[in-house]
Amino acid sequence: MLVPFLIQAQDFADVLRYSQFQVQGTARSGAMGNAFGALGGDFTSVSINPAGLGLYRSGEFVITPKSSYTQVESSYWGSNVENTNYKFTLNNLSYVSALQTGAGSEIGLIGINIGIGYNRLKDFNSNAYVVGNKIDGSYTDYFLDNSNSNPQIWNDYYEELAWDTHILNFDKDNDEYWTELRDAGYGQNQRKSISKSGSIDEYSFAFGLNFNHKLYLGASWGIDYLYYRESTQIFETDEQGNIPYFNDFTFNSYLRTSGYGNNFKFGAIFKPIHQIRLGVSIHTPTYYRLHDVFETSMKSSITDDEGTINYDQYSPTNNYDYKLQTPMRTTFSGAFVIAKKGLLSVDYELVNYGKAKLKNGGDGYGFYDENTAISQVYKTSGNLRVGGEYMINKAVSLRGGYELHQSAYNSNSFGASQPNSGADLMVYSGGLGYRSGLFFADVAYRYSVIDDYDLPYSTPVSDIYPAPKMIGFNTVKHDVLLTIGYKF
């Protein structure tokens, strides 16, 4: 069963983490479900459809801070535990210059607009805590299976640590490795903590053209900066004292990924009549150069005839360079303006996550097996964004939106059902806007929710060991965005 699990190397889980995102920018766009592919006039549209830059009639400077509160509730072996994370970040900073052409003519090329700025594409920040009591199985089963069935993959980051901390033992008479937990029939308590931080930020250089106030064309160059950090800890303890010699162990893993990527976006918006706007955009893959830093450590407490002994071991630090190509994106958009009092807008984005690729490992590795898995595990997903705005008066606007980001997983792959095939992300949003002369301010609230699954530890290959139970995660995120802007 293929689901993301404890990081061991670059794999399909890394690819999805860095390829799947929800564009974030200004509070106006966020309140309207980021359905700005046909609307434009907002810098968030540069990361969706850069043709929207052509709809600016004046220059603009905008800044958008964001406050986020994330709740993650885990469900494992009948125990439900909640953990939270609070973060204050900068969601958007942008500048647009509007250049008029044609000496005021309404025919031909009317305007050329240039924009430079930053939009956040994804936040990784979250904390999760998992608790299970009287577990049937152990993370040490994975080490034990590798040691007995696959001795060629014994390495310094897993089995070596278990050996050095006396969790993994060797029976010379039977020529096999063994553990106290398995011999005693398990029954220990287990806890796991997962701390994630970082983001994907896009710095854009874009231009938009306005032809006859009918056709708008645009293009952008995006430089994406990626930073991700994950720390996990698995703790198993024999609180009941039922397992001879064994008291507890703690296994820690740390991963940090950083790097830059480049992409281009092209788009068009057409207004057949004043009330209707139609848009289309294409995003090239983002070509990342990434660097991973990975390390593990393990502690244990063992009691024998000589008393209690504590062991503490650390792996080497693994530094690794590689490249990642994310999938292309295509967005189709439509908007309807209602008598200058309001509007409705819809975006539909298509992404084939199975087309993502890992490339050029720093040691010459080609990632053939990983890319084969990517093409079989992931599918083409459709992301729907819907938004609306109603002008209460000339100064105040009321907004609302909805987003549905479909799971990237196939329902079945490699002969197994994929539990995360139904893990769709839904976002509900609303907000207010205020305009007074050249100054404007917007506020938005966004409520995001997703239910997905993960494994507490890697599954042993041999079926003689108990398979780990799934952890269910319910993640709810509350975002408050405030945009301050000035037109000139």
**Which pLDDT tens digit goes with each residue over 403-461?**
999 999 999 988 889 999 999 999 999 999 999 999 999 999 999 999 999 999 988 98
**The pLDDT of residue 211:** 95
User: What are the structure tokens assigned to 305, written together?
Assistant: 């005839």
pLDDT value of position 1: 47
pLDDT recorded at residue 104: 60
Q: What does the pLDDT read at residue 85?
A: 96
Q: What is the pLDDT of residue 9?
A: 63
Q: Which residue has the tokens 């050329």?
A: 112
Q: How far apart are CA 109 and CA 261, in angstroms?
A: 33
| Angstrom distance (rounded) from CA 96 to CA 415 | 51
Contact 218, 49 (CB under 8 A): yes
What integer pLDDT is reported at residue 8 of this predicted model? 52
Total residue length of the chain: 488
Distance CA 321, CA 293 (A): 9
Report the distance separating Cα 28 and Cα 464, nearest Å: 56
Residue 479 three-state SS: strand
User: Parallel, antiparallel, or unpaired for β 318-325 and 287-304?
Assistant: antiparallel
Task: Give residue 280's identity as a one-letter amino acid code.
Answer: V
Retrieve residue 138's tokens: 């152990």
The contacts of residue 5 (CB under 8 Å, 6+ apart) are 13, 454, 455, 457, 458, 459
Q: Assign residue 153 a region: left if phi > 0, alpha if psi is -120 to 50, beta otherwise?
A: alpha
Q: Are strands 342-352 and 380-391 parallel, antiparallel or unpaired?
A: antiparallel
State the pTM of this model: 0.94
What is the structure's pLDDT at 7? 43
pLDDT the model gives residue 178: 96
Q: Which helix (H) or strand (E) holds 182?
A: helix 180-183
SS3 203: strand
Alpha-carbon separation of residue 440 from 59, 104, 397, 482 (angstroms): 13, 26, 11, 11
What's the pLDDT at 4?
A: 45
- Give 105's DSSP letter: -
DSSP character at residue 18: H
How far apart (Å, rounded) are the C-alpha atoms in residues 218 and 12? 33
Q: Give yes or no for a contact between 161 and 142, defined as CB atoms under 8 angstroms apart.
A: no
Helix (H, G, I), strand (E, B) or coil at 483: strand
Which residues, given as ranges, of the chain have pLDDT below 50?
1-7
Which domains are present in the chain?
Answer: 12-487 (2.40.160.60)
Instruction: Report yes or no: 477 and 451 within 8 Å, Cβ to Cβ.
Output: no
Per-residue confidence (pLDDT) for residue 367, from 0 to 100: 95
Instruction: Give me 173's structure tokens.
Output: 């008479």
- Residue 272: CA atoms inside 13 Å, Cβ hemisphere, count? 6
DSSP string, 296-345: EEEEEEEEETTEEEEEEEEPPPEEEEEEEEPPPEEEEEEEEEETTTEEEE
364: left (phi over 0), alpha (psi -120 to 50) or beta: left
HSE at residue 178, side-chain half, CA atoms within 13 A, is 12
